[in-house]
Amino acid sequence: MTTLRIATANVNGIRAAVRRGFGSWLQQRAPDIVAVQEMRCPEAQLPHQAWPAHRLSYHPGLLAGRNGVGVLTRWPPSAVRTGFGSRAFDTEGRYLEIDLEPPDAPALTIGSLYLPKGGNADDGPAYAAKQKRKLRFMASFGNYLTGARRHAHRQGREFLVMGDFNIAHTRDDLTNPTANLRYPGFMPDEREWFGRLLGPRTLVDVVRTLHPGVKGPYSWWRWGTQAWDRGTGWRIDYQLASPRLAACAITGGTDREPTYAERMSDHSPVVVDYSL
């Protein structure tokens, strides 16, 4: 029996995260696969020394200093695909997908996603436009995800999409749901869209399955000690797995750093062990 440790982490700038301890976390936790978002780094300036035991597949996008997604793996992928067929979004570095054949484990298709944050129309036209753009992204990506999941199944692969979805799905996924009903990330249409991704024959929210009926475990806290100390967080980083893979999850949750000073990012990694 093989155990794969799989993680997802929005690093909010990979060079800054490395300075704050990303390499040490990687060495101590020893994940086999890590989906990474918001790397915000030109390819030539990537700090490869921080992951000597892993190979990086990377989609930086064309927006200088923004976005950028990747997947770190212990084994070389057999295929790497950038984007999801969208002229509007594929140049932004928001989605990367790989095929991987880990030893003594099922073949996998793995996606790393950074979904747009959006905006609140109450804050003005520019923010309303950001929210409309987020909804367009969601509609296009949702259609792609259905096809990608089915394609992986036909090839005999398990499917896993991870990353920062910028959506708290249920009232258990943020500290103050009532106060955030009109806030981007917890609006009804966003939550309904997220719910349509899930099902016993489609994709499973792995961490929620491991932690049913509880608040959290949160993965994002605003910068600043107040939210951190109070534990006022959101669960917006997910591992959504095909049902057979999800059924293999044995432990999982958020690697919340011991103190605010030790934070690598405004997000903490979400880590799941799969016994295959």
Q: For 15-38, what is the mean pLDDT?
A: 98
| Separation between Cα atoms, residue 242 and residue 140, nearest integer Å | 20
Note whether 95 and 111 are within 8 A (CB).
yes
- Domains of the chain, first to last: 3-275 (3.60.10.10)
pLDDT at residue 18, rounded to an integer = 98
In the block, residue with structure tokens 């100390």: 229
Angle at 151 between CA 150 and CA 157, to 5 degrees: 95
| Separation between Cα atoms, residue 18 and residue 44, nearest integer Å | 16
Q: For 208-228, what is the mean pLDDT?
A: 96
| Separation between Cα atoms, residue 220 and residue 256, nearest integer Å | 9
pLDDT at residue 57, rounded to an integer = 98
Confidence of residue 121 (pLDDT cuts 50, 70, 90): confident
Q: For 172-198, what is the mean pLDDT?
A: 96
pLDDT at residue 1, rounded to an integer = 80
Confidence of residue 241 (pLDDT cuts 50, 70, 90): very high
pLDDT tops 90 at residue 26: yes
Note whether 11 and 37 are within 8 A (CB).
yes
**Phi and psi torsions of 270, nearest 5°:** -110, 120
Note whether 8 and 35 are within 8 A (CB).
yes
pLDDT at residue 127, rounded to an integer = 86
For 51-101, write each residue's pLDDT tens digit. Answer: 999 999 999 999 989 999 999 999 999 999 999 999 999 999 999 999 999
The pair of structure tokens assigned to 129 is 């436009």
List, in order, residues 6 or more apart from 45 with CB less than 8 Å away. Answer: 15
Note whether 269 and 37 are within 8 A (CB).
no
Angle at 68 between CA 236 and CA 209, to 5 degrees: 25
pLDDT at residue 120, rounded to an integer = 85
pLDDT at residue 250, rounded to an integer = 98
For 243-259, write each residue's pLDDT tens digit. Answer: 999 999 999 999 999 99
List, in order, residues 6 or more apart from 251 with CB less than 8 Å away. Answer: 210, 272, 273
